[in-house]
Amino acid sequence: MKRKRFRKFLLCGLILLGCFALFLFLSYWYMVRCQGSWHGEPLEKGMDLAEIRKNLEADVRFIQEMGPRNSVNRKTYEQLLRCEEWIVQRWESQGYRVKKQTFSFEGRDYSNLEIEIRGRSAPSEIIIVSAQYDTLPDSPGANNNGSGMAILFELTRLFRNHTLDRTVRFLNFVNEEDPFFGTEMMGSYQYAKRCRERHEDIQVMLSLDALGIYTDRPNSQHYPFPYSLVYPRRGNFLAFIGDFSSRKAMITATRGFKKGSSFPIEAGVVPKSQEPAGWSDHSSFWKFGYPGIMVTDTGGFRSIFHTTKEDTMEKLNFEAMARIVVGLRGSILELTQSNWRKERGAP
């Protein structure tokens, strides 16, 4: 009798263990194995990246020299307004018409800046690509987020005079950093709220946030547990991070990236409750039911200088950033032109 009970207990234990192992495997497949597959010669092989790199360096240098940009005091607020004016001039020099979404808080005006390439066959379906242009109080913001802004400007230069199937909007958001982060005064919150009020069909939003730090040094990459168990420990890759609703867009964006560049990437989808995954403007779009993906070098999980006075341009890898521009161009092409929302294999 005892032996029979033991066998039954052992069988139940093995079944539970098997179910747990299956759960772990399915979770790993769903959350980690979410890169699009593609094999071939990436476009960067036939491109001269020198001009892209030169433009990136010039933009980051100018952004850094502006100094901290925020509402902490009169000087930094004036620098924020100066940056806003420069962004408008930068895009107008590329031939775009810039739209402003201006809102006020405690007697000061703040503006999101937008340009749009209207889609040819599906203009109501919208892809958003953004960067934020404010900084923390004492930071010159070369990587956070001069790198994202510079890459955004190169993307808009490369897409100048292009026609795509879906509409693509490029945005520079204000008030991403503290003290506004997580509040309704984030520029991205104001914008996502308006999109929802207008019933706009935002297919996915990509937030470019800190994209300049890369190293092959062992143990240079850190993660919150349990992601440290499954992702690389060398900080030599670009990360795509989204929520579960972004998985299909994630597969499409990473497949397009690989068509453009062989630069190493990692991807993951996580619950919205996983706080580090929401540390950028894409989280505002999550709040209004839109898919959102952060594209990043992982910020403070890789660089000890993130958000500090030492966030300066000599630490940035501009060769890597030039390759990333070409990869993200591929991501945007794939998102705006392929029929990815109807593809099988993702929810």
- Distance from C-alpha of 284 to C-alpha of 181, rounded to nearest angstrom: 10
What is the per-residue pLDDT across 236-276, written as a single tens digit (0 to 9) for each? 999 999 999 999 999 999 999 999 999 999 999 999 888 88
Q: State residue 158's pLDDT score.
A: 97
Report angle CA 143, 144, 148 to the nearest 5 degrees.
75
Domain 36-342, CATH homologous superfamily name and number: Zn peptidases (3.40.630.10)
- Distance from C-alpha of 152 to C-alpha of 157, rounded to nearest angstrom: 9
pTM above 0.95, yes or no: no
Residue from 160, 158, 196, 155 nearest 172 by CA: 155
Q: How, if at all, do strands 292-296 and 201-208 pair?
A: parallel
pLDDT tens, the chain, 347 aa long: 556 665 666 666 666 656 555 444 444 445 656 888 888 889 888 888 999 999 999 999 999 999 999 999 999 999 999 999 999 999 999 999 999 999 999 999 999 999 999 999 999 999 999 999 999 999 999 999 999 999 999 999 999 999 999 999 999 999 999 999 999 999 999 999 999 999 999 999 999 999 999 999 999 999 988 888 889 999 999 999 999 999 999 999 999 999 999 999 999 999 988 888 899 999 999 999 999 999 999 999 999 999 999 999 999 999 999 999 999 999 999 999 878 877 644 44
Structure tokens given for 339: 């029929």
Q: State residue 40's pLDDT score.
A: 84
What are the b/e assignments for 12-29, b being 16+ CB within 10 Å? eeeeeeeeeeeeeeeeee
Q: State residue 345's pLDDT score.
A: 45
Domain boundaries, the chain: 1-31, 36-342
